[in-house]
Structure 1
Amino acid sequence: MTSKWRGDMKRELESGNSGKQEESHHRVCIYRVPSSLRRIKPKAYTPKNISIGPYHHGAPHLRDMEDLKKRFYRRLFNNNSNEAKLGEAFKFLEKEQHQVRRFYNEEIKLSPDKFLKMVLVDGSFIVQLLRELSKCEFRKVPPSLSPWMLPIIRYEMIMLENQLPMFVLNKLFELTSADSAPSGPTITLKDLALRFFYPLLQVDSNYIADSKKAGELSELHFLDLLRSSIMPNNILESGKADVERKSKPHMIRSVTELMEAGVKIKADERKKLLDISFGKNLGFSGRKLTIPALYINDHTCTVFRNMVAFENCHQDCDRMVTAYLFFFNGLVNSAGDVSFLRYKGVIHHSLGNDNTVSKLINNITKEIVLDKHKWYLYKVVNEANEYSDTFYARVRASLVHQYFTSWVVIASTLGSLLVLYFTFIQIVFSFGKLSKAFENQSFGSVIYNVLCLPYICWINLN
Structure 2
Amino acid sequence: MSPNSSTNFDEHRWIINIRKTLEEELEDDNEVPVCIFSVPKSLMTSCPDSYIPQQVAIGPYHCWLPELHEMERYKIAAAKRTRKQLQTLKFEGIVDHLIKLELKIRACYHKFLDFSNETLAWMMAIDASFMLEFLQIYAVKEGMTITRVSSSMSHLVDYAGRKSAHNAILRDMVMLENQIPLFVLRKMLEAQLSSLELADDTLLSMVVGFCKEVSPFRLTQEIPKIHVSQCAHLLDCLYETIVPQTEANPDDPEIIEDKDLSEEMKDKEGSPGDSGIWKLVAKLKKCPIHLLKRLVFSRPVRVILKIPWMILSNLPVFSILKQPVEYLFFSQENENRAGNENPNNSEINAPPLAEEIAIPCVAELFESGVRFLPTSGNILSIMFDVKTVTLYLPTVSLDVNTEVVLRNLVAYEASNASGPLVFTRYTELMNGIIDTEEDVRLLREQGIILNRLKSDEEAANLWNGMTKSIRLTKVPFLDKTIEDVNEYYNGRWKVKVGKFMKHRVFGSWQILTFLAALLILLLLTMQVICSVYRWFRIFRFKTT
TM-score, structure 1 normalization: 0.68
Identity %: 27
Contact kept? 2:422, 2:475, Cα under 8 Å: no
Any residues of structure 2 matched to 1:268-283 within 5 Å, and which? 268=375, 270-273=376-379, 275-281=381-387
Any residues of structure 2 matched to 1:70-85 within 5 Å, and which? 70-79=76-85, 82-84=87-89
| CA–CA separation in structure 2 for the residues paired with 1:20 and 1:57 | 28
Structure 1 counterpart of 2:233? 221
| CA–CA separation in structure 2 for the residues paired with 1:55 and 1:388 | 48
Structure 2 CA distance for partners of 1:48 and 1:316, relative to 1, 3 Å: same
Residue 497 of structure 2 corresponds to residue 395 of structure 1: no
| CA–CA separation in structure 2 for the residues paired with 1:354 and 1:362 | 12
Structure 2 CA distance for partners of 1:376 and 1:121, relative to 1, 3 Å: farther
Contact kept? 1:320, 1:375, Cα under 8 Å: no
SS of residue in 2 equivalent to 1:214: coil
Contact kept? 1:133, 1:142, Cα under 8 Å: no
Instruction: Report how far residue 378 of structure 1 moved.
Output: 1.6
| CA–CA separation in structure 1 for the residues paired with 2:462 and 2:434 | 10
Structure 2 CA distance for partners of 1:142 and 1:349, relative to 1, 3 Å: farther
* 1:53 aligned residue (56, 59, 78): 59
Structure 2 counterpart of 1:262? 369
| CA–CA separation in structure 1 for the residues paired with 2:406 and 2:476 | 17
Contact kept? 2:386, 2:484, Cα under 8 Å: no
Residue 343 of structure 2 corresponds to residue 329 of structure 1: no
Q: Which amino acid aligns with 1:113?
A: E
* 1:365 aligned residue (461, 467, 475): 467
SS of residue in 2 equivalent to 1:377: helix
Structure 2 counterpart of 1:341? 443
| CA–CA separation in structure 1 for the residues paired with 2:222 and 2:71 | 29
- Bigger CA drift: 187-196 or 172-181? 172-181
Any residues of structure 2 matched to 1:231-250 within 5 Å, and which? 231-232=243-244, 234-235=246-247, 250=356
* 2:154 aligned residue (139, 143, 163): 143
Instruction: Report how far residue 302 of structure 1 moved.
Output: 0.5
Structure 2 counterpart of 1:195? 209
Structure 2 CA distance for partners of 1:275 and 1:166, relative to 1, 3 Å: farther
Q: Which amino acid aligns with 1:189?
A: L
Q: Which amino acid aligns with 2:472?
A: D
SS of residue in 1 equivalent to 2:76: helix
Residue 107 of structure 2 corresponds to residue 102 of structure 1: yes
Instruction: Report how far residue 123 of structure 1 moved.
Output: 1.0
Instruction: Report how far residue 24 of structure 1 moved.
Output: 10
Structure 2 counterpart of 1:113? 118
- Count how many residue pairs are aligned between Structure 1 and Structure 2: 365
| CA–CA separation in structure 1 for the residues paired with 2:417 and 2:109 | 14
* 1:153 aligned residue (146, 156, 169): 169
Q: Which amino acid aligns with 2:366?
A: M
SS of residue in 2 equivalent to 1:187: helix
Instruction: Report how far residue 229 of structure 1 moved.
Output: 0.6
SS of residue in 1 equivalent to 2:432: helix
Residue 190 of structure 2 corresponds to residue 178 of structure 1: no
| CA–CA separation in structure 1 for the residues paired with 2:178 and 2:82 | 21
Output one character per residue of 1:344-376: Cα deviation in whole Å (capped at 9) or x when no partner. Answer: 11112233332332232122123x244243465
| CA–CA separation in structure 2 for the residues paired with 1:95 and 1:36 | 36
* 1:122 aligned residue (123, 127, 145): 127
Instruction: Report how far residue 308 of structure 1 moved.
Output: 1.3
Output one character per residue of 1:375-411: Cα deviation in whole Å (capped at 9) or x when no partner. Answer: 6512222222223344xxx13767999xxxxxxxxxx
SS of residue in 2 equivalent to 1:220: coil
Instruction: Report how far residue 320 of structure 1 moved.
Output: 1.8
Contact kept? 1:24, 1:102, Cα under 8 Å: no
SS of residue in 2 equivalent to 1:27: coil
Q: Which amino acid aligns with 2:173?
A: M
Instruction: Report how far residue 311 of structure 1 moved.
Output: 2.0
Output one character per residue of 1:93-134: Cα deviation in whole Å (capped at 9) or x when no partner. Answer: 122101101111111111221111001111122123323553
SS of residue in 2 equivalent to 1:82: coil
Contact kept? 2:372, 2:393, Cα under 8 Å: yes
Instruction: Report how far residue 305 of structure 1 moved.
Output: 0.9
Q: Which amino acid aligns with 1:172?
A: M
Structure whose residues are more often helix by fraction: 2
SS of residue in 1 equivalent to 2:154: coil
Structure 2 CA distance for partners of 1:96 and 1:237, relative to 1, 3 Å: farther
Q: Which amino acid aligns with 1:275?
A: S
- Bigger CA drift: 216-225 or 123-132? 216-225
Instruction: Report how far residue 218 of structure 1 moved.
Output: 6.3
Instruction: Report how far residue 233 of structure 1 moved.
Output: 6.3
Structure 1 counterpart of 2:242? 230
Contact kept? 2:179, 2:233, Cα under 8 Å: yes
Instruction: Report how far residue 325 of structure 1 moved.
Output: 0.5
SS of residue in 1 equivalent to 2:246: helix
Structure 1 counterpart of 2:403? 301
Instruction: Report how far residue 62 of structure 1 moved.
Output: 1.4
| CA–CA separation in structure 2 for the residues paired with 1:247 and 1:103 | 29
Output one character per residue of 1:172-202: Cα deviation in whole Å (capped at 9) or x when no partner. Answer: 22332329998xx983423312312432235
Structure 2 CA distance for partners of 1:246 and 1:261, relative to 1, 3 Å: farther
SS of residue in 2 equivalent to 1:234: coil
| CA–CA separation in structure 1 for the residues paired with 2:406 and 2:413 | 10
Structure 2 CA distance for partners of 1:349 and 1:218, relative to 1, 3 Å: farther
Q: Which amino acid aligns with 2:381?
A: D
Instruction: Report how far residue 20 of structure 1 moved.
Output: 6.6
SS of residue in 1 equivalent to 2:125: helix
Q: Which amino acid aligns with 1:144?
A: H
Q: Which amino acid aligns with 1:377?
A: L
Instruction: Report how far residue 56 of structure 1 moved.
Output: 0.9
| CA–CA separation in structure 2 for the residues paired with 1:263 and 1:144 | 52
Structure 1 alignment gaps of length 5 or more: 1-14, 239-243, 402-462
Instruction: Report how far residue 88 of structure 1 moved.
Output: 5.6
Structure 2 counterpart of 1:5? none
Structure 2 counterpart of 1:356? 458
Q: Which amino acid aligns with 2:172?
A: E
* 2:75 aligned residue (69, 86, 92): 69
Q: Which amino acid aligns with 1:357?
A: A
| CA–CA separation in structure 1 for the residues paired with 2:139 and 2:222 | 11
Structure 2 CA distance for partners of 1:223 and 1:246, relative to 1, 3 Å: closer
Residue 136 of structure 2 corresponds to residue 131 of structure 1: yes
Output one character per residue of 1:30-82: Cα deviation in whole Å (capped at 9) or x when no partner. Answer: 12222222221111111122110001112222122112112212222313x53
